[in-house]
């Protein structure tokens, strides 16, 4: 395990650096917005107010809580401190609900939906691509055009199509929400079943998009590997094809894992839109409502959380890669 230390540290440092950068971005960008954000916020909060003193006090209170009366660096420190203590401020569109509360209720829906969906889509896509490369002929000729076609669909496109076919026309699945509107979350079977049913369409939209993209890549990699010298040599030595195929896919898989790490940002982005299409109560939908309601604290918090999630996922994938590719360990030991 010693060999991994260098690799691990390397990736950890990177995670830290990008996280800092993400914080900076989340902090700086909205503050570059022209105009006085506090005035805009106050205007919204004070919509019902007619008392000008009350408005002025609200304005000053927000100034203070944002620390806008302090220098930038202090503001940033305040921001970081707030984030780490879980204080993301109060939401405007769902006033007076704290942002952290909104986040904690929607983040689990997103994680439970996207995480399995992306992984399963990746697995199925790679398997199909590998099979297409190995079986050739008929299977390949069918899978290839379908994959090309599907991979060109925008993520939300697939979501809409699935919704229309299975939700509206065939009425097999519900078209919106995370669970039935008439249900209150608890651990009853009825609730859980409703959740599962509502889970299907968003889940499969993300999976299908992921499959389309992966299948093509894996197929190319597999074809490349299947023609490699070591395949021929293993055959010369009398090793069975099954075993050889095992080698090939393990080798072809490695660049695919790296590819996953690189593209996870995009996949999450697409999956968020899919959530929105289905009004699924995850981060995507929350973000949409936040934007529509001009809820600055909420938007800022959601984008930060999404970025951090992607960064952590990226880190995890790179760690897994380090464990799987034996050459990493070998390269470290000398």
Return the number of the residue (67 or 177) whose C-beta is nearest another protein: 177
The DSSP 8-state label assigned to residue 152 in this structure reads T
Beta bridge partners of 98: 90
User: Shortest distance, CB of residue 294 to another protein, whole angstroms?
Assistant: 9
User: Shortest distance, CB of residue 105 to another protein, whole angstroms?
Assistant: 20
Neighbours of 70 (CB within 10 A): 14
User: Shortest distance, CB of residue 286 to another protein, whole angstroms?
Assistant: 11
Return the number of the residue (128 or 231) whose C-beta is nearest another protein: 231
Asked if residue 70 lies in contact with residue 78, where contact means CB atoms within 8 angstroms, the answer is yes
Return the number of the residue (56 or 141) whose C-beta is nearest another protein: 141
Task: Give rounded-to-5 percent helix, strand, coil for the chain.
Answer: 80, 0, 20
Residue closest to 208 by CA, chosen among 107, 128, 310: 128
User: Shortest distance, CB of residue 239 to another protein, whole angstroms?
Assistant: 5
**Cis amide leading into 273 (omega within 30):** no
User: Shortest distance, CB of residue 185 to another protein, whole angstroms?
Assistant: 23
User: Shortest distance, CB of residue 114 to another protein, whole angstroms?
Assistant: 12
| Sign of the dihedral defined by the CA atoms of residues 182, 187, 190, 192, in that order | positive
What secondary structure does DSSP assign to 269-283, as a single string? HHHHHHHHHTT-TTH
Return the number of the residue (49 or 291) whose C-beta is nearest another protein: 291
Return the number of the residue (192 or 239) whose C-beta is nearest another protein: 239
User: Residue 30, exposed/middle/buried by CB under 10 A (0-12, 13-18, 19+)?
Assistant: middle
How many CA atoms lie within 13 Å of 231's alpha carbon, on the beta-carbon side? 19
- Which residues, 6 or more positions from 254, have their beta carbon under 8 angstroms from its beta carbon? 321, 324, 325
User: Shortest distance, CB of residue 276 to another protein, whole angstroms?
Assistant: 7
Return the number of the residue (96 or 145) whose C-beta is nearest another protein: 145
What secondary structure does DSSP assign to 87-118, as a single string? ---B-STTTTSBHHHHHHHHHHHHHHHHHHHH
Return the number of the residue (182 or 229) whose C-beta is nearest another protein: 229
């Amino acid at each position: 395990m010693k060999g991994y230390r260098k690799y691990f540290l390397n990736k950890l440092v990177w995670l830290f650096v990008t996280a800092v950068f993400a914080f900076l971005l989340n902090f700086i960008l909205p503050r570059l917005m022209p105009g006085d954000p506090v005035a805009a916020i106050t205007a919204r909060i004070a919509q019902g107010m007619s008392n000008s003193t009350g408005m002025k006090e609200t304005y000053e209170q927000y100034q203070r809580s944002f620390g806008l009366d302090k220098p930038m660096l202090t503001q940033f420190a305040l921001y970081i401190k707030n984030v780490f203590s879980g204080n993301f401020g109060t939401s405007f569109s769902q006033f007076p609900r704290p942002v952290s509360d909104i986040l904690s209720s929607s983040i689990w829906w997103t994680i439970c939906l996207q995480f399995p969906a992306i992984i399963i889509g990746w697995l199925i896509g790679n398997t199909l691509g590998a099979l297409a490369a190995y079986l050739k002929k008929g299977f390949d000729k069918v899978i290839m055009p379908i994959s090309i076609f599907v991979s060109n669909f925008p993520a939300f496109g697939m979501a809409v199509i699935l919704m229309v076919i299975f939700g509206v026309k065939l009425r097999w699945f519900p078209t919106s929400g995370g669970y039935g509107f008439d249900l209150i979350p608890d651990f009853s079977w009825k609730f859980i079943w409703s959740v599962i049913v509502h889970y299907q369409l968003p889940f499969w939209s993300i999976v299908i998009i992921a499959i389309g993209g992966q299948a093509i890549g894996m197929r190319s990699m597999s074809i490349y590997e299947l023609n490699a010298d070591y395949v021929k040599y293993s055959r010369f030595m009398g090793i069975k094809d099954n075993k050889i195929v095992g080698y090939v896919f393990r080798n072809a898989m490695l660049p695919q894992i790296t590819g996953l790490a690189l593209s996870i940002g995009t996949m999450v982005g697409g999956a968020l839109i899919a959530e929105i299409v289905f009004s699924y109560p995850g981060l995507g939908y929350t973000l949409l409502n936040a934007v529509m309601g001009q809820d600055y604290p909420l938007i800022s918090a959601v984008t930060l959380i999404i970025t951090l999630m992607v960064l952590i996922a990226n880190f995890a994938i790179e760690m897994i890669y380090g464990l799987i590719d034996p050459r990493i360990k070998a390269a470290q030991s000398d």
